[in-house]
Amino acid sequence: MNPLVGLLAVILGLVVAAVVYEALAERRERRRFPPPGRLVDVGGYRLHLVVTGEEHPGPTVIADSGMVSFSSNWAWVQPELARTARVIAYDRAGLGWSDPGPKPRDAGQSARELHAALQQASIQGPYVLAGHSYGGLAVRAFAALYPEEVAGMVLVDGSHPDQWARFGVSSRVLGFGNKVSSVVAWLGLFRVFDKEYKLLADGLPARAHAELMAFGRTPRALSTAGEAALAWDDRTRPLVNDASGLGDRPLIVLSVTEQPRMGDKLTAMQAELPALSSQSRHITVQGAYHEGLLAQPDSARVVTESILRVVEAVRSGQPLAP
Residue 10 has pLDDT above 60, yes or no: no
Q: What is the pLDDT of residue 208?
A: 97
CA angle (301 as vertex; 321, 312 as ends), nearest 5: 30
Q: Are 267 and 259 in contact (CB under 8 A)?
A: yes
HSE-CB at 82 with a 13 A cutoff on CA atoms is 15
* CB atoms inside a 10 Å sphere around CB 321: 12
Residue 261 has pLDDT above 80, yes or no: no
Q: What is the pLDDT of residue 197?
A: 76
The DSSP bridge partners found for residue 64 are 131
**290-294: long-range contacts (C-beta < 8 A, 24 or more apart)?**
290/133, 290/157, 290/256, 290/258, 290/259, 291/66, 291/199, 291/200, 292/199, 292/203, 292/256, 293/132, 293/156, 293/157, 293/254, 293/256, 294/65, 294/73, 294/74, 294/76, 294/77, 294/132, 294/156, 294/204
Q: What is the pLDDT of residue 16?
A: 53
Residue 37 has pLDDT above 90, yes or no: yes
User: Residue 89: which of 303, 314, 317 has the closest Cα?
Assistant: 303
Q: Structure pTM?
A: 0.92
Residue 6 has pLDDT above 80, yes or no: no
User: Residue 272: which of 282, 262, 264, 263 has the closest Cα?
Assistant: 282
* CB atoms inside a 10 Å sphere around CB 315: 15
Kind plus residue range of the DSSP H or E element containing 303: helix 297-316
Tens digit of each residue's pLDDT (9 = 90 or more) over 70-92: 999 999 999 999 999 999 999 99
Q: What is the pLDDT of residue 180?
A: 83
The CA distance from 60 to 121, in Å, is 13
Query: Mean pLDDT throughout 49-62?
Result: 94
What's the pLDDT band for 273 if we cut at 50, 70, 90?
very high
* Sheet arrangement for strand 60-64: 38-41, 46-52, 87-91, 60-64, 127-132, 150-156, 251-258, 280-289
Listed range (12-21, 36-45, 237-246) with the worst mean pLDDT: 12-21
Q: What is the mean pLDDT of the chain?
A: 90
Q: What is the pLDDT of residue 145?
A: 98
What's the pLDDT band for 184 if we cut at 50, 70, 90?
confident
Listed range (101-110, 210-219, 305-314) with the worst mean pLDDT: 210-219
Residue 183 has pLDDT above 80, yes or no: no
User: Residue 113: which of 67, 49, 38, 174 has the closest Cα?
Assistant: 49
Residue 194 has pLDDT above 70, yes or no: no
Q: What is the pLDDT of residue 9?
A: 55
- SS3 category, 319: coil
What's the pLDDT band for 199 if we cut at 50, 70, 90?
confident
User: Alpha helix (H) ranges present in 121-262?
Assistant: 134-145, 163-167, 171-185, 195-201, 206-215, 219-230, 237-242
Q: Which amino acid is at 304?
A: T
Tens digit of each residue's pLDDT (9 = 90 or more) over 151-176: 999 999 999 999 999 999 999 888 88
What's the pLDDT band for 25 if we cut at 50, 70, 90?
low
Q: Are 58 and 126 in contact (CB under 8 A)?
A: yes
The CA distance from 57 to 180, in Å, is 45
- Domain residue ranges of the chain, discontinuous segments joined by +: 33-316
The CA distance from 61 to 125, in Å, is 9
User: In CATH, what class is 33-316?
Assistant: alpha beta
Which pairing describes strands 280-289 and 251-258: parallel, antiparallel, or unpaired? Answer: parallel
Q: What length does the chain have?
A: 322
Burial 150-173 (b: 16+ CB within 10 A, else e): bbbbbbbbbbbbebbeeeeebbbe
Query: Mean pLDDT throughout 95-117?
Result: 97
Query: Could you tell me what percent of the chain has a pLDDT over 90?
Result: 75
What's the pLDDT band for 263 if we cut at 50, 70, 90?
confident
Residue 192 has pLDDT above 80, yes or no: no
Tens digit of each residue's pLDDT (9 = 90 or more) over 129-149: 999 999 999 999 999 999 999
